[in-house]
């Protein structure tokens, strides 16, 4: 595993985070326990991913932007599997989001400052607007935009909006590689 400066990668309960060699982990991040980060994913400055009571999975090319917190929830008698956090491929998660015990399918989008709670699902190409709060167990359908606190359906997304989201994914893969080279270069100098 690569060493990123000022990053905590912590083994807990016998589980060590698994991070693909091509991923970018920015300084200030704390990655703990049962966490898996896929190829070309990027975890930006000062994020916390805490897989201490269940697991967290982040797919290829997904990005978790600055200051985001990702956690999960323990199994219990009502929820024997608990609530892991599963983030698919090509997902955009905006700055300072709170992601907890939920599933975000491939190409999903979580706006900056948004909150996604236990048992929620954001289907492929679904979007939660900036500042919104998706309350426990809610499901955003494919190509739907939800917003507000609590979040509610607003409208369907256009093809142009989906193209913009994928442009954002490509931007973050490219930008992640640039930041990774700068961070690793600075730590060697």
pTM score of the predicted model: 0.95
Mean pLDDT of 64-92: 97
Query: Architecture of 8-188 per CATH?
Result: 3 Solenoid (2.160)
Q: Closest Cα partner for 102 from 133, 62, 73?
A: 73
Beta bridge partners of 2: none
For residues 64 and 38, give the distance between their C-alpha atoms in angstroms, rounded to a whole number. Answer: 12
Mean pLDDT of 145-150: 98
- % of the chain surpassing 90 pLDDT: 94
Asked whether residue 73 carries a pLDDT value surpassing 90, the answer given is yes
162 near 92, Cβ under 8 Å?
A: no
Asked whether residue 170 carries a pLDDT value surpassing 70, the answer given is yes
């Amino acid at each position: 595993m690569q060493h990123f400066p000022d990053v905590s990668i912590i083994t807990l309960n016998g589980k060590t985070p698994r991070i693909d060699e091509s991923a970018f982990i920015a300084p200030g991040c704390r990655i703990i326990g049962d966490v898996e980060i896929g190829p070309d994913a990027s975890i930006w400055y000062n994020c916390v991913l805490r897989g201490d009571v269940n697991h967290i999975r982040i797919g290829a090319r997904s990005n978790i932007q600055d200051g985001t917190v990702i956690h999960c929830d323990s199994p219990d008698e009502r929820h024997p599997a608990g609530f892991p956090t599963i983030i698919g491929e090509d997902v955009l998660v905006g700055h300072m989001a709170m992601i907890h015990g939920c599933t975000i399918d491939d190409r999903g989008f979580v706006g900056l400052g948004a909150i996604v709670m236990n048992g929620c699902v954001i289907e492929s190409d679904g979007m939660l607007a900036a500042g919104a709060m998706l309350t426990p167990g809610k499901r955003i359908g494919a190509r739907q935009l939800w917003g507000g606190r609590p979040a509610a359906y607003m409208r369907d997304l256009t093809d142009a909006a989906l193209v913009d989201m994928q442009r954002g994914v490509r931007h973050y893969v490219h930008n992640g590689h640039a930041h990774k080279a700068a961070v690793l270069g600075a730590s060697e100098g």
